[in-house]
Chains A and B, each alone.
Chain A
Amino acid sequence: MTRPPHLDPRLVAVVALGGAVGTTARWAVSEWLGTSAAGWPTATFVVNVLGSFLLGVLLEALLRHGQESRRGRLVRLGAGTGVLGGFTTFSSLALEMERLIAADQVALSAAYGTLSVVLGLLACLAGVALGSRRVR
């Protein structure tokens, strides 16, 4: 009997392990870049754009490999769903936008949300383009 991946404890553990790594890396970036007292949430911004690029590269490269192997699935779930999924965050983005609005910085909040998505999409597109080149 084959159960769906999300109900397979071993695969859930692989995602959890990757998520722990990605979350720690995101925390490290925020410690490194510091929390800007008032204004642009640099850490979340950098993490989200960089993570979108890397996930684009990874998923496209795996896709170009053709039929997914067991190993390919472990890489996709561990590094993709786990590490890069955990590295990037939508909840912090949303809360930071809300906090900026609460501080009467509506324009900055809108610019932050818009630029995150636009640069996130462009980075992801660039990643996909790079990922498609990796495999001959």
Chain B
Amino acid sequence: MTVLLIAVFGGIGAASRFVVDGSVRTRWSRVFPLATLVVNVTGSFLIGLLNGAHLYHGLGSTWLVVAATGFCGGYTTFSTAMVETVRLIQAGELRRATANAVGSVLLCLGAAALGVALMAA
């Protein structure tokens, strides 16, 4: 049963990513892949909030795994971030490639930490 919920929420997460990505892209035409970054940072913030809710406010493990592994996992993407970084490297945009790779990790880490901290407060 949990697997089914994870699948459904993963599907909803991926569809949400597609919509958010498309919406950011229509407003941002520069080289830097902002859309994926926006998706990954917001998804990391959400997984932090969920984990904080689990740790400090008794959110059940089943709902945590469905929302975190399912929705947040389906919503965020590592592979697209890697492909976009490779494309920047191929285009000779080494500084933007580095900024995207390093920035993604640090901003997502910060967003997750903020999410947990807000729930702990």
**Which residues of A does B touch, CB under 8 Å?**
4-7, 11-13, 15-24, 26-27, 30, 48, 51-52, 54-56, 59, 77, 81-82, 84-95, 97-99, 101-102, 113, 116-117, 120-121, 123-125, 128
Residue contact A6 to B22, C-beta cutoff 8 Å: yes
User: CA separation between A95 and B82, bound complex, in Å?
Assistant: 18
Residue contact B7 to A24, C-beta cutoff 8 Å: yes
Closest B residue to A17 by CB, please name it: B11
Q: Interface residues of A: mostly helix, strand, loop or mixed? A: helix
A-B contact count (CB 8 A): 199
Residue contact A89 to B83, C-beta cutoff 8 Å: no
Tell me the smallest distance from the CB of B111 to a CB of chain A, in Å.
Answer: 7
Categorize the interface residue count of chain B.
Answer: 35 or more
**Which residues of B does A touch, CB under 8 Å?**
3, 6-15, 17-19, 21-23, 26, 40, 43-44, 46-48, 51, 68-70, 72-83, 85-86, 89, 101-102, 104-105, 108-109, 111-113, 116
Instruction: Give the residue of B13, B15, B86 whose beta carbon is less than 8 angstroms from that of A125.
Output: B86
A-B contact pairs, 26 of them (CB 8 A): A5-B22, A6-B22, A11-B18, A17-B11, A19-B14, A20-B10, A20-B11, A27-B3, A27-B70, A30-B69, A52-B79, A88-B79, A88-B80, A89-B73, A89-B76, A90-B78, A90-B81, A91-B108, A92-B68, A94-B47, A94-B111, A95-B44, A98-B109, A99-B51, A117-B82, A125-B89
Chain A neighbourhood of B74, CB < 8 A: 19-20, 22-23, 85-86
Residue contact B108 to A27, C-beta cutoff 8 Å: no
